[in-house]
Structure 1
Amino acid sequence: MRTLLSIEGLTVALPPGADRPHALEEVSLELKANEILCIVGESGSGKSMMAGAVLGLLPEGVRATAGKILLEGENLLTLSDADMRRIRGARIGIIFQEPMTALNPLRTIGDQIAEMFRIHTNLNRAEIARRVTTLLKDVHLPDPEGVQRAYPHELSGGQRQRAMIAMALALEPRVLIADEPTTALDVTTQAQILKLIRELQERKGTAVLFITHDFGVVAEIADRVAVMQRGRLVEVGSAEDVLDRPEHPYTKALIAAVPPLAPPPPQDVAAEPILRIEHVSKTYRKGGLIARSRRVTHAVQDVSLNLPRGGTLGIVGESGSGKSTLARCIVRLLDPDSGSICLGDTDLAALSRRAMREQTRHIQMVFQDPFASLNPRRRAGELVAQGPIIHGEPPARALAKAKEMFALVGLDPDATERYPHEFSGGQRQRIGLARALALEPQVLVADEPVSALDVSVQAQVLRLLADLRSRLGLSMVFITHDLRVAAQICDRIAVMQGGVVVEEGWTAEVFGAPRHSYTQALLASVPGRDWVPPVQADALLAVS
């Protein structure tokens, strides 16, 4: 196969004061026609910086200081901004991770795709309209005419990503760069997008540079794999060689952190429930005075579940299934419309706001985005001490307890003086755990607590949760859309679809022999579901 893109000895310097001198150091890589090359590594490994260098879109203060980037023999590093604008879109397409931030919210989808033709071709309006419709059909969007008239916020996440792919492929570029294009998507939508990229790549002969940190995605789509660590290329090879016979210690460590889809055997968990959710419903009503403009969403419908004392109940499903709404009802961030939520003998749903405040010491929540849930103006120790102080502990004792909690979750107790922005994403998630555990709760509700983390950090947090459950006797409600994670951390699984629990049971039974068609579809959509990581750190994720 002919080489379309060649990176030779590329070095990219970071500005003074960065955590290291270079974002990329002497990186050499080839991308051939009609292949998908996956670039994998943790945050900060240089994956996205490589894409930015190829596209001529490096951040301010960051520049290439050595090497070449050859697109069919032409060195992109020597081109002007005007020349690069002609190449972007026409010869190199880009699919971004978050289409909502990449699409203009004030312009229709059709107009934004048509702009590619208006800028780069001399086609008339009628021919552009025809091509836009054809592109939207190619990416399997329903009602292409309606989608053209829609604004980004009127489409689902998967539909927006398909529109981005249509835009990237508009001018049939020889090279397509996909930067984490499925990270924020549900498992079924993710499977559809991966299938679509593979299908379009095979049909048009496009070379795809696919950036990801998800080894399941790599197993599903890659022809070759390149592994990056702190700006250096540490391993390159065929997908089969890298995934099944990794050589570099870093690659082995990453693969060891991938949770297997097969759950461990059921654990001995007390039959006595500590939390009983009975016939809980929650409906959202939006709209105004005109009846036809009102929208009613039955987010949670007649849900009944039990959390055994000392156990972990996983709640899985796609976005919009009602998982997070149920979690917020459990801790009374939302008031359910009906039903009861009993913690021991206390019905939390029936309590006043003041009475519920006292119960919060017994049931705490850990959120998906620790940075958004931590006050950036308060020191980490103050944030952890805040709960005990509210519940009557003297400030000095609460701050001392914050240090104890830091040690418990594997952080340096002296780090309590630092601010949230001075920690990594995994460390901030540990601070969120420390804050929740400071009140010594009986139940921990974790809402997607590892979905934003790299695979190795994710493994550390899961190991920590399993350890804390064992040592403290915690009971957990664990909300996730990642079935690999659910398989390893949860004793029981409840599958939600459209606000309804469609299947519930022991994790090993539900995953081993799913009864409901929706559960079957979720499991069938897990990327790389047939790949079994050869390097397994079972002790890392084993539930005590």
Structure 2
Amino acid sequence: MDAAPDARRTAVAVRDLRLALPEGGDRAYAVDGVSFDLVAGEILCLVGESGSGKSMCAHALMGLLPKAVRPAGGTIRLGDLDLAAQDEAGWRDTRGRRIAMIFQEPMTALNPLMRIGDQMAEMFEAHGLLTPRARRARVLALAEEVGLPEPGRIVRAYPHQLSGGQRQRAMIAMALALEPAILVADEPTTALDVTTQAQILGLIRALQARRNMAVLFITHDFGVVAEIADRVMVLRHGRVVEAGTAAAVLGRPQAAYTKALLAAVPSMDPPPRTPPGGLKAVEVAGLEKTYVTGGGWWRKPRRVEAARDVAFALHRGETLGLVGESGSGKSSVARLVMRLIEPDRGTVRLGDTDLTRLRGEALRRARSRIQMVFQDPFASLNPRRKVGRIIADGPMAHGVAEAEAMARARRLVDLVGLDAGALDRFPHEFSGGQRQRIGIARALALEPEVLVADEAVSALDVSVQAQVLALLEDLKQRLGLSMLFITHDLRVAAQICDRIAVMRRGEIVELKSAAGLFADPEHPYTRALLDAVPGRPRRAA
């Protein structure tokens, strides 16, 4: 299937691309017979779940395929040049000059030991362009073009000194440095909060239109597709299942798989819920936490208020959402509630127990009543232990006999929808969604009263995300759990939360029912967050 509308304006033509996987796997090809055109002045979105082949298509366009993946057929034509047949010397000349890439995670793509300006200037140096003085001037101009604040300061900073959005803008500046005709963006906004995401999407769209670039934009977020795409191509298992204009694919999908993906996108309309009440599982009052960093002989220390007079109650059987931008304090509040960090002042009550007063063994026993599901299960699961032991370790640490702990692990893997064979496998043998189920099982192993879920579904595809959200809701009902759910995704919050607290700069600025918040947001910051959700119609001024 070909997604090309007009070959006369084609910047890159991909025909029958095949990328072979090592023998012995689940399938022979990572990409199997894919054809599409990148057209000047348009954005083509590649959509699909993890493993669909969309990132492999991007890496093939950049000559950055993993060693285990080998070209097995097809052509990638950039004018008269067949990119698929280039040697490394040819790629060095093509990359940056004619085709450039924005990576998903700028913190890992940027060199932590080099200043941002030096990394941007390196693009010109690698191609033998401009004098050192001209490079510095061009770096400042690029920083201004992508909207970096205080460009003179930013170009002297290191990556860790910038916010996520600023690092992504720096990556975009590097990609645009040599004015390429084609831009490849691989999930460039996945890890960003909604307002920063909206800014980056607007920036890419504006730069693309100004420079008349062809853009290949890879994403699994249909809200982003609705916001930015001119055309859409849906991949599954390395093959194209549907392609067409954004309006046609989103509004009148033909393939069953496309319909299933669209159906899995969380709605912004909260389902009807019974208002919470009754006993309080967690009560937070006057919680405050300030981080102090830096400082020295000539510099004042930097103070960041992560929590300022935070107060809320989580009722038994309720899901309370904490939403806000990166740096709003929501994850710090979660860790304060868990007593993973110490508050400066305030109280956290777990039922009748004041957690802030506990120390030592008493705190360790109380922690069994409140457990956390982390954002990245692959990072939080011990890669050297089998799943059964990962789940059983918690109960065993609290005095449960090994036989009983393993029996509990068997019950839990069944409860979260995995087969018993999962107990004897290692975390790397599972998909992202399956690993998150293991993380949930581990959190439930101590039979807690409260679950704290910190961005527990933000890294998952929409269909897997829907499955994990349904699992959490089912477990909450069956086990009588209360849940503190931290997320920057307002669509997810709408579907799972009974009430939502909006955080900004360490403060809760609005707290009401999910239905009330989405129907009638009161605080300007809440309205700004809702308006920034990609694909959502903008609110009238």
Given the two structures, how large is their TM-score scaled by the length of structure 1? 0.95
Contact in 2 for aligned 1:226/1:237 (Cα 8 Å): yes
Secondary structure in structure 2 of the residue aligned to 1:153: helix
Q: What residue identity is the alignment partner of 2:146? A: V
Q: Who is 1:27 aligned against?
A: 34
Secondary structure in structure 2 of the residue aligned to 1:61: coil
Post-superposition shift, 1:506? 0.6
Q: Who is 2:529 aligned against?
A: 522
Secondary structure in structure 1 of the residue aligned to 2:44: strand
Contact in 2 for aligned 1:3/1:32 (Cα 8 Å): yes
Alpha-carbon distance in 1 for matches of 2:528, 2:208: 25
> In the alignment, is residue 277 of structure 1 matched against residue 284 of structure 2?
yes
Alpha-carbon distance in 2 for matches of 1:61, 1:400: 39
Q: Which of 141, 151, 154 is matched with 2:158 structurally? A: 151
With 139-148 and 197-206 compared, the bigger mean Cα shift is at: 139-148
Pair 304,122 (structure 1): closer, same or farther in 2 beyond 3 Å? closer
Q: Which of 483, 494, 498 is matched with 1:491 structurally? A: 498
Deviations 1:15-60 (A, max 9, x none): 2343321111111111111000000111111111111111111111
Q: What residue identity is the alignment partner of 1:406? A: V
Alpha-carbon distance in 1 for matches of 2:126, 2:348: 58
Pair 291,498 (structure 1): closer, same or farther in 2 beyond 3 Å? farther
Q: Who is 1:427 aligned against?
A: 434
Pair 279,291 (structure 1): closer, same or farther in 2 beyond 3 Å? farther
Q: Which of 9, 13, 17 is matched with 2:20 structurally? A: 13
Q: Which of 448, 471, 484 is matched with 2:455 structurally? A: 448
Alpha-carbon distance in 2 for matches of 1:123, 1:330: 54
Alpha-carbon distance in 1 for matches of 2:121, 2:150: 17
Q: Which of 36, 43, 50 is matched with 2:50 structurally? A: 43
Post-superposition shift, 1:418? 1.1
Secondary structure in structure 2 of the residue aligned to 1:149: coil
Q: How many residues align?
A: 531
Secondary structure in structure 1 of the residue aligned to 2:155: helix
Q: What residue identity is the alignment partner of 2:25? A: A
Contact in 2 for aligned 1:403/1:414 (Cα 8 Å): no
Q: What residue identity is the alignment partner of 1:176? A: L
List aligned pairs for 1:262-411, cutoff 5 A.
262-287=269-294, 290=297, 292-411=299-418
Alpha-carbon distance in 1 for matches of 2:114, 2:298: 28
Q: Who is 2:197 aligned against?
A: 190
Alpha-carbon distance in 1 for matches of 2:537, 2:106: 29
| Coordinate RMSD, CA, aligned | 1.5
Alpha-carbon distance in 1 for matches of 2:177, 2:274: 53
Q: Who is 1:141 aligned against?
A: 148
Q: Which of 509, 528, 539 is matched with 1:502 structurally? A: 509
Deviations 1:307-362 (A, max 9, x none): 11111000001111111111111111112121111111111111112101111222
Secondary structure in structure 1 of the residue aligned to 2:233: strand
Contact in 2 for aligned 1:182/1:190 (Cα 8 Å): yes
Q: Who is 2:443 aligned against?
A: 436
Secondary structure in structure 2 of the residue aligned to 1:86: helix
Contact in 2 for aligned 1:114/1:128 (Cα 8 Å): yes
With 522-531 and 344-353 compared, the bigger mean Cα shift is at: 522-531
Alpha-carbon distance in 1 for matches of 2:440, 2:82: 49
Alpha-carbon distance in 2 for matches of 1:115, 1:352: 52
What fraction of aligned residue pairs are identical, expressed as a percent? 61
> In the alignment, is residue 103 of structure 1 matched against residue 110 of structure 2?
yes
Q: Who is 1:84 aligned against?
A: 91
Alpha-carbon distance in 1 for matches of 2:105, 2:437: 26
For structure 1, the residue ranges without an aligned partner over 5 or more in a row are 532-544
Contact in 1 for aligned 2:10/2:40 (Cα 8 Å): yes
Q: Who is 2:519 aligned against?
A: 512
Alpha-carbon distance in 2 for matches of 1:203, 1:285: 42
Alpha-carbon distance in 1 for matches of 2:34, 2:162: 38
Alpha-carbon distance in 1 for matches of 2:128, 2:341: 52
Alpha-carbon distance in 1 for matches of 2:77, 2:298: 59
